[in-house]
Amino acid sequence: MNKPKELTAARRPYMRMNAPMLAGSFIILFFIAVAILAPVLTPYGPDDMMFAYQPPSREHLLGTNDVGQDIFTEMVYGTRVSLYIGIFAAFIVTGVGTVLALLSGYFGGKTDKVITAVTNVAMAVPGLPLTVLLVAYLNPGKWSLIIAISITSWTGTTRILRSRVMQLSQMPFVKIEKAMGVHPAVILFKHILPNTRDIILTRGALSVSGAMMTEASLSFLGLGTFGEKSWGGVLHYAFFRNSIMKNQVWWYVPPIVCISVAVLGFMLVGYYGKMKRVGAKS
């Protein structure tokens, strides 16, 4: 009779500890579902035009903008653009940062000095101004934003992961593998990389939130995607069409809320995701 109670009591701290991570996962899954089901959630297309400046109603849940486009439809389809840029930029940032950290932390010597020097120089350059310059000179589009964000955002992952790789390289099992003449690629991908998985996943989730914030900032400045709007693009047009002065809260508040909640979801998963593994082992 006491055994189920003991199991329940043991699980309670685990569930409390991982509640933020579960909440973040729910937020992410919600926005992914919205992006996938966009044509089902709204009867209008993102380019359909009706009467301009209509307030919220049954036909238009968030009203219409200055050219008569349904704002709710813009928000739903904007989820696709924001997530697309955030996830792919984070994938590139995490991949580049991981490769450089493995090379720097494992081989050391001149390789480490060169990569560390490049990382320090890249970190010294202001990220947002450089991203603005890159986007301004590249062709407008989603991949231009992804490339610009990736070029300026890989340094944090490299520095954090490099320390962990250097620590693992001094472990006895790695030294034994080196003494046996095992190829460095085998050691890196079979022994070191699996032991950095938690850090990589954490940095990946945080990179998504950072990329989405950067994309929203660029889109707000008018440097976003061409032909389709992200949440930052919706906010850009709302601000420059004086929606704040006209008290059209249904136009400028939804993109702010969506950006904030989505970034919060990825940050919760990034900060608290590792706690799940610790709780699972215990």
Residues 72-101: tens digit of each pLDDT: 999 999 999 999 999 999 999 999 999 999
Distance between CA atoms of residues 61 and 27, nearest Å: 21
Kindly report which listed range (208-212, 243-247, 278-282) carries the lowest average pLDDT score.
278-282
Token pair for residue 76? 């739903």
Q: What is the pLDDT of residue 244?
A: 84
266 pLDDT above the threshold of 90? yes
Q: What is the pLDDT of residue 8?
A: 44
Indicate if the alpha-carbon torsion angle 242, 248, 250, 256 is positive or negative: positive
Neighbour tally for 240: CB within 10 Å: 11
Query: CA nearest 204: which of 150, 163, 253?
Result: 150
Query: CA nearest 93: which of 207, 215, 212, 218?
Result: 207
68 pLDDT above the threshold of 90? no
Q: What is the pLDDT of residue 81?
A: 93
Give the residue carrying structure tokens 């989505």: 262
65 backbone dihedrals φ, ψ, rounded to 5°? -90, -160
Mean pLDDT, residues 158-174: 89
Kindly report which listed range (170-174, 264-268, 273-277) carries the lowest average pLDDT score.
273-277
